[in-house]
Chains A and B, each alone.
Chain A
Amino acid sequence: MGTIRSMSLWVVLGAAIALIFAAIYMTFLYAPTESMMGPVQKIFYFHVPSAMVAYLSVFVLLGSSMAYLWTRRRVFDYVAVAATELALLFCTVVLITGPIWAKPAWGVWWTWEARLTTTLVLWLILAACLMVRGYATERDAGARMAAVLGIVAALDVPINYLAVHWWRGQHPQVFGPGKKDPLAPEMMHAFLLCMVAILTLYLALLFLRSRLAAAEDRAQSLMDRMRDS
């Protein structure tokens, strides 16, 4: 297990923890309270970076799924498993923190608005990816089906991002084309630090989860070897 406890992993994890403490300080003590929404607006500092990291993870899933289907090298499948699980984790965070913000802002927990609905669809596709792996009777067949579903999940990301423009939903769009200085400088600093902290945490977890998938696969191969001998 020496490979799992590699030095670089602990450096990234340590950096993520330090950045998270800095991000908490910036969110609650440095960034001003928004005048219209009040303190509940601070959910934005964790909700939006989580959504961006979920998008990133789906693109990692797309790249690793395509590479796996092309080369059939298991290392790409390990990354795909990690990316799927983390995309699902951050998508879950988005789907829970969003309604907690929406209740005081819109007066309802949930509305079948385009951005919310396509996020839910993305969550369901990612859950299906993991279920397909879990229920497959043969390991490689499960990995292949999950890779195809991973590519389908990536198709939902641009639809999800552009949903606000295409269907003019209620969901606020803070960043994007035509948005000049969307946040006060202190809010922007806090947001950027939260983004870096959550991204670093994501990279550490991606690394850790990929190593876990590799170790589990190695354990399974050793079991098979023992059974054959």
Chain B
Amino acid sequence: MNNYVYLFWGYNVFWALIALYVVFLATRLGRVGQRLDRLENSLSASDDD
């Protein structure tokens, strides 16, 4: 029965690390996307001026 505890933690550590990394990537992608849109808009506005 004790063996199941190790399997539980081994398995959950794997998915927790992968999920954390995916969340980290998605957050950074969202942030850089917004930043790029903002920069491109302000650059095109300054080019129009």
Contacts and interface: CB of A to CB of B under 8 A. Distances in A.
A40 B3 contact: yes
A29 interface: no
A39 B4 contact: yes
B46 A46 contact: no
A146 B36 CA distance: 26
B32 A215 contact: yes
Contact residues of B: prevailing secondary structure? helix
Interface stretch (A69-77, A178-186, A205-213): A205-213
Interface residues of A, number: 35
B43 A219 contact: no
A43 B2 contact: no
B43 A225 contact: yes
Contact of B17 (A4, A93, A104, A215): A93
A201 interface: yes
B7 A219 contact: no
A89 interface: yes
A229 B46 contact: yes
Given A39-B4, A96-B13, A212-B29, 15 more contacts: A1-B33, A1-B37, A40-B4, A47-B10, A93-B17, A93-B18, A97-B10, A104-B2, A104-B3, A205-B22, A209-B25, A219-B35, A222-B39, A226-B42, A229-B46
Interface of A: 1, 4, 37-40, 42-43, 46-47, 50, 89, 92-93, 96-97, 100-101, 103-104, 201, 205, 208-209, 211-212, 215-216, 218-219, 222-223, 225-226, 229
Interface of B: 2-4, 6-7, 9-11, 13-14, 17-18, 21-22, 25, 28-29, 32-33, 35-37, 39-40, 42-43, 46
Instruction: List the 7 closest pairs (A to B, CB-CB), nearest first.
Output: A43-B10, A1-B33, A100-B10, A222-B39, A40-B3, A38-B3, A215-B32
